[in-house]
Structure 1
């Protein structure tokens, strides 16, 4: 049994009230809820209103607005969105820490140190890479489509402010750098990876918008 246009609009309104406006999640949830309602109406021979309340009651816990320490308590989203965001982000999260601690541990172990690195030509290259990466990061941050929500957009939003603050501090740190060691190299590597990671989710955000043909 297929739902009528009016019944479909009822389901759409329910998703709006639950803030399921993240397009990559909304289409999946809409399809599941409609399928659940149609199946239950057919098998149990019940009216739409009865089935609608039964099905939505089952979905309510999954669509409840919540937060996560993983992204910061200041950023909330429906539980399903948070779960999907964790699933796609955790590998990048681990790699971000690895990009810092791996060079830090290795270079500290071998007692790597360069005094007054700003006097060497290679430092100009490192600083140039840092500045180019920072400009690229800011460009991605400012050109992201904030009007259309996706799970990847949520990740970008939750990471944006902290990343910008950290990058500004890092630039100031490198400008006054007296010793190039495991700590500073680790910070440099983590910054480069952070920019790459942000670009990756920016690209996925754009692809999700294109996939669902929303401009």
Structure 2
């Protein structure tokens, strides 16, 4: 039995009341719940409201408040799980790349006599970091003006402040990238964090793209 627009709207409203307010995941869950209710209404003689209650009881564990070490507290659990997976994937991609790139750079620096090249490379890296700093500020502004709320916009709002602070510190030299520091440990840490924040910023900006990609898709579907 196909649900009416009013019944689907009721599912949407119920999800919002349970804390699921982000459009991308809410749309996905609404489709799942609607399909389950349609299946039950074909299988039993219960009303829509009764089947709605049955299905939401099944989904109740996914709609409860939850915690993630990478995200903190979010509501509900299904939202936390999705955000946790996104952030975990980002870190699992960026950390090993940053680690091995740092090792290669240190080996190159330790066996290089091209001081001018090193200084130019450090200046270029700082300039690139400042460009990323400006892009994050710009993306943050666009996200806050956006009419849609998604898991991607949630992560950008939650993580942008830390990115902005560290990118600014790296860009202005408050946290200097010491390519040729005589202490290998200090050199490693400074280079690693520089590369890490360059890469993680690029991936976070991809989340901005995904947010607006979803917004465009949603606006087209509503035409």
**TM-score, structure 1 length as denominator?**
0.82
Contact 2:152 2:211 in 1 (8 A): yes
Q: What is the number of equivalent residue pairs in this alignment?
A: 213
> Which residue pairs with 2:140 in the alignment?
141
Contact 2:132 2:167 in 1 (8 A): no
Q: Deviations over 1:144-194 (max 9, x none)?
A: 245421121122122212212222332344676666333332222112212
2:100 equivalent to 1:102 = yes
Contact 1:63 1:80 in 2 (8 A): yes
List runs of 5+ in structure 1 lacking aligned partners. Answer: none
Which structure exhibits the higher relative contact order, with contacts defined as CA atoms closer than 8 Å and separated by 6 or more residues? 1
Write the distance in 2 (CA, Å) between the matches of 1:99 and 1:213: 37
- Helix, strand or coil at the partner of 1:45: coil
Q: Deviations over 1:116-152 (max 9, x none)?
A: 98x9444332322222222222222222245421121
Moved more, 139-148 or 20-29: 139-148
> Which residue pairs with 1:150 in the alignment?
150
Moved more, 197-206 or 79-88: 79-88
Q: Residue 107 and residue 9 in structure 1: after superposition, are their counterparts in 2 closer, same or farther (change >3 A)?
A: closer
**TM-score, structure 2 length as denominator?**
0.79
Q: Residue 77 and residue 96 in structure 1: after superposition, are their counterparts in 2 closer, same or farther (change >3 A)?
A: farther
Instruction: Indicate the RMSD between aligned Cα atoms, in angstroms.
Output: 3.1
Moved more, 187-196 or 166-175: 166-175
> Which residue pairs with 1:166 in the alignment?
166
List runs of 5+ in structure 2 lacking aligned partners. Answer: 181-186
> Which residue pairs with 1:130 in the alignment?
129
